[in-house]
Amino acid sequence: MDLKAVKVSEHVYWVGAVDWNVRNFHGYTTSQGTTYNAYLIVADKITLVDTVKHGFEEELLARVSSVVDPSKIDYFVSNHAEPDHSGSISFMAEKIKPKKIFASKMGKKTLEAYFDFPVEITSVNNLEIIDFGGVHLKFIETRMLHWPDSMFSYLEEDKILFSQDAFGMHLACAERFDDQFTWPFLAKLASDYYANIITPYSQNVQKIISAFKEMKLELNMVLPDHGPIWRDMERFGKMIDLYMNWADRKMKKKAVIVFATMWHSTEIMSKTIEDELSQRGFEVITFNTEIAGRSDIASEMIDASALIVGSPTLNNNLFPSISDALIYLKGLKFKTPVAAAFGSYGWSGESVPQIAEMLKSSGCDVVETVGAKYKPTVEILHDCRVLAEKVADAVDNYFN
């Protein structure tokens, strides 16, 4: 391969890989692909910060080779052991035989569980500073943002933060810097990323970012492991504010309706509920789970205060795509305060109580349920409007 690195600062080059084709990132629909960012620090010693997903080794090697002979790399630093960043680390270690590989204590354990290495991994302590050939990296533990091993590295001389997954987004692109895109475009992709990857760890995010702000590190750039590099620090300040808002679960008067339908009965009920909530001033987003992906639903849940779920009964159960969406949202721990369940059935009618139970087990307050036998009658559609009214009142009470 003949690929070039991108110079980022006096000592740092981007040497990562672009994955234009990935559409399923462990269940998260990545409709715009992604990048696996890796970085090379070139000083009196050469250091590789993070690697790329397995399958992209040649791309990484080609970009490194455009700067230095890869065999000259002295050190590896692993800020995050998830295989999209470590999947080629043992291949690279076998090929290069670096003098040392640095990771957090949990990073060492995780990497050693996943891979075999020709050199022992050196664990670093929180706030430890190490000389990498005349330049210095300060390591900052960011445990559970979003894995136990996760850490930031701060290159003191260039005032650069390597932030691993934090502040990243899934976007395959030929551009490397944030100022080559509009802010709304990046903010939406970062929001989708937070919703689908980081939401369950929001308490940690608040603590980590508060502690990070206290450090008052001077920043020229922030280099995440996915998507563009932040070099507009005013924008990065806005991104930090967004992270704090998302972590604080700032919600709007917004309802997400999620439904599946067999013969349109549940769909008709959904439309009535949507209509009533809209009449009551709600922002409403509706998803048919037979068409929309679970991660598109999660992306909209980031600021929603109500979740309303509908399903037909199929063989005494929920529709499988509704079950999939509910399990995914439960894992993401959105803690949506207000919820309701609806659905249709022919003879047994288990879906609505099953939805209600799953919503309750996710921590939601289920304010109403409605079930329709075969098709929604005028009375049932009236009940759907009552359901929407109860959701609206509960949301108003929550905010007041």
Q: Which of 28, 36, 75, 193 is catalytic?
A: 193
Give, in order, the Cα–Cα distances in Å from 78 to each of 11, 14, 49, 93. Answer: 18, 15, 6, 12
Closer of 186 and 256 to ligand FEO (Cβ): 186
Q: How far is the CB of 198 from ligand FEO (least distance, A)?
A: 9
84 is catalytic: yes
Active site residue 26: yes
CB of 172 vs ligand FEO, minimal distance in Å: 14
The distance of closest approach from Cβ of residue 103 to ligand FEO in the complex, given in angstroms and rounded to an integer, is 14
CB of 51 or CB of 305, closer to ligand FEO: 51
Active site residue 193: yes
- Tell me how far apart the terminal alpha carbons of the chain are, to the nearest angstrom: 60
CA–CA separation, 179 and 171 (whole Å) = 14
Candidate list 75, 146, 178, 345, residue with the active-site label = 146
Catalytic, 350? Answer no
Taking a C-beta distance cutoff of 8 angstroms, is the pair 254, 304 a contact? yes
Q: Hey, what are 322's tokens?
A: 């509704």
Residues that bind ligand FEO (CB under 6 A): 80, 82, 84-85, 146-147, 165, 225-226
**Which residue is catalytic, options 226, 267, 368, 383?**
226
The answer to whether 349 and 313 have CB atoms below 8 angstroms apart is yes
Which residue out of 165, 178, 192, 274 is catalytically annotated?
165
For tokens 């929180």, the residue is: 126
Closest CA to 99 of 84, 85, 120: 120
Residue 359 tokens, joined:
């919503």
Query: Strand 75-78 and strand 46-49: pairing?
Result: parallel
- Among residues 55 and 363, whose Cβ is nearest to ligand FEO? 55
Question: Cα-flanking dihedrals φ and ψ of residue 338, to 5°?
Answer: -120, 135
Of 34 and 47, CB closest to ligand FEO: 34
Identify the DSSP state of 72.
G
CB of 32 to ligand FEO, least distance (A): 15
Catalytic residue among 50, 84, 178, 368: 84
Of 59, 75, 80, 170, the active-site residue reads: 80
Q: Nearer Cβ to ligand FEO, position 110 or 336?
A: 110
* Minimum distance, C-beta of residue 79 to ligand FEO, in the bound complex (Å): 10
At 47, is the secondary structure helix, strand, or coil?
A: strand
Residue type, 31: S
CB-wise, 142 or 313, nearer to ligand FEO?
A: 142
Q: Are 395 and 306 in contact (CB under 8 A)?
A: yes
Phi and psi at residue 40, to the nearest 5°: -115, 130
Q: DSSP labels for 163-212?
A: EETTT------S--BGGGS-HHHHHHHHHHHIIIIIGGGHHHHHHHHHHH
Q: Which residue has the tokens 């590190």?
A: 217
Q: Which is catalytic among the residues 19, 50, 59, 82?
A: 82
Residues in the chain: 400
- Tell me if residue 165 is catalytic: yes
Residue 83: CB minimum distance to ligand FEO, A: 8
Minimum separation from the CB atom of position 151 to ligand FEO (A): 12
Active-site residue, 28 included: no
User: In this structure, what token pair is assigned to residue 244?
Assistant: 């704090």
276 belongs to the catalytic site: no
Sheet arrangement for strand 39-42: 6-7, 12-14, 39-42, 46-49, 75-78, 100-104, 121-124
Q: Quick one: 142 or 286, whose CB is closer to ligand FEO?
A: 142
Closest residue to ligand FEO, based on beta-carbon distance: 82
Residues with a known catalytic role: 26, 80, 82, 84, 146, 165, 193, 226
